[in-house]
Amino acid sequence: MARQIDDQTCRLYATDYCDMLNMPSCNECFVNGPNAEPGRVMEDLDVLRDLMPQEGIAHLFMDNGCKFCKADPPNVRDGYALLDMGHKEPARMKRSALFIKTKARIGSMLPVQISTCADCRKRFQRLEYLPILMPLGVAVLMMILLSIPAIVDPLTRIHMIMSFAIFAGAVIVSVLLGKIIQKNMRKKYARVMRLDPFEIPTLHNMRQNGWFLLGANGKLIFTKKRMRMGVGTGAPEDAFVAQHTS
Ligand SMILES: [Zn+2]
């Protein structure tokens, strides 16, 4: 996708800062906004550039092969896994509600998109939903069973609380069972795929360089289309500088 870069008055015009931001057009770019501080944006991008892995992160979503597959060659990409990485640099001070200045935990944020095959995505999703869906399924099944008079009446005759005790017991057992099955699945899946994104060499290098996962336990989000704008989303084909200087 060709980017509409036409504002030659912009301080970032035809620089690799502009390519790093990877905005689709000058109109949509925040450097054009009324409160923009191009100088500060450039400073922040300088810091970010130093924090990026040498090989860049574009290959994580440009490569056709799944980055989670351990097989060689890996399965073909079917979509992308997204996660947000954070870094404490560039250091910023933030003011808390009590006007105490503290160092912000996050200076930089980088969305990372990773080529993922259908098999790996399904395995991630099964691991995530099994511990929720299994107890839910058991609860529904028990509610149906315990609404049948032929089952519930003899139980009530033993004790008023009997049917509830059986319901609660079944749900608790299914929660524990779900955890055990999940653990075994993880073991099985780990033979064919990388369950921890940091096993991917580029992400491993980033962690060594101070990057950490942001968001709910670093949960992966799966999409079919990749993000096309913002820092970290640019592919070599999106580069304005290279296209206009060669
Ligand atoms: Zn895969």
Q: How far, in Å, is the centroid of ligand 1 from the Cα of 180?
A: 24
Closest by Cα among 33, 29, 31, 26 to 4: 26
- Which stretch of 45-59, 93-107, 134-148, 162-176 has the lowest confidence by average pLDDT? 93-107
The pLDDT value recorded for residue 203 is 95
Q: How far, in Å, is the centroid of ligand 1 from the Cα of 36?
A: 41
Cut 0.75: pTM above it: yes
Rounded to an integer, the average pLDDT of 73-79 is 97
Please list, in sequence order, all residues whose beta carbon lies within 8 angstroms of the beta carbon of residue 59, skipping any fewer than 6 positions away: 202
Judged by DSSP in three states, 213 sits in strand
The pLDDT value recorded for residue 237 is 79
Cβ atoms < 10 Å from Cβ of 238: 19
The span from the CA of 231 to the CA of 226, in Å, is 13
**Which pLDDT band holds residue 99 (cuts at 50, 70, 90)?**
low
Please list, in sequence order, all residues whose beta carbon lies within 8 angstroms of the beta carbon of residue 128, skipping any fewer than 6 positions away: 219
**Which pLDDT band holds residue 125 (cuts at 50, 70, 90)?**
very high
Q: pLDDT over 70 for what percent of the chain?
A: 91
Q: How far, in Å, is the centroid of ligand 1 from the Cα of 66?
A: 5
Q: How far, in Å, is the centroid of ligand 1 from the Cα of 135?
A: 28
Rounded to an integer, the average pLDDT of 63-87 is 95
Q: How far, in Å, is the centroid of ligand 1 from the Cα of 78?
A: 9
Alpha-carbon 185 to chain mean position = 21
Q: How far, in Å, is the centroid of ligand 1 from the Cα of 67?
A: 6
Rounded to an integer, the average pLDDT of 148-162 is 89
- Which stretch of 39-48, 66-75, 178-187 has the lowest confidence by average pLDDT? 39-48
Q: How far, in Å, is the centroid of ligand 1 from the Cα of 76?
A: 7
Q: How far, in Å, is the centroid of ligand 1 from the Cα of 191?
A: 12
Closest by Cα among 79, 68, 83 to 124: 68
**Per-residue pLDDT tens for 216-244?**
676 899 999 988 888 889 888 788 776 66
Q: How far, in Å, is the centroid of ligand 1 from the Cα of 132?
A: 24
Q: How far, in Å, is the centroid of ligand 1 from the Cα of 202?
A: 16
Residue 101 has pLDDT above 60, yes or no: yes
Q: How far, in Å, is the centroid of ligand 1 from the Cα of 137?
A: 29
Q: How far, in Å, is the centroid of ligand 1 from the Cα of 117?
A: 4
**Cβ-contact 210, 1 below 8 angstroms:** no
The pLDDT value recorded for residue 107 is 84
What are the boundaries of each domain within the chain?
16-115+197-245, 125-190
C-alpha torsion 103→105→110→113, nearest 10: 180
Q: How far, in Å, is the centroid of ligand 1 from the Cα of 63?
A: 12
**Per-residue pLDDT tens for 13-34?**
989 999 999 999 998 888 877 7
The pLDDT value recorded for residue 114 is 97
Q: How far, in Å, is the centroid of ligand 1 from the Cα of 222?
A: 13
The pLDDT value recorded for residue 116 is 98
Residues with CB under 5 A from ligand 1 (ion): 66, 68-69, 75, 117, 120
**Cβ-contact 83, 116 below 8 angstroms:** no
- 34: its two tokens: 């009324």
Q: How far, in Å, is the centroid of ligand 1 from the Cα of 75?
A: 5
Q: How far, in Å, is the centroid of ligand 1 from the Cα of 108?
A: 29
Q: How far, in Å, is the centroid of ligand 1 from the Cα of 68?
A: 5
The pLDDT value recorded for residue 102 is 66
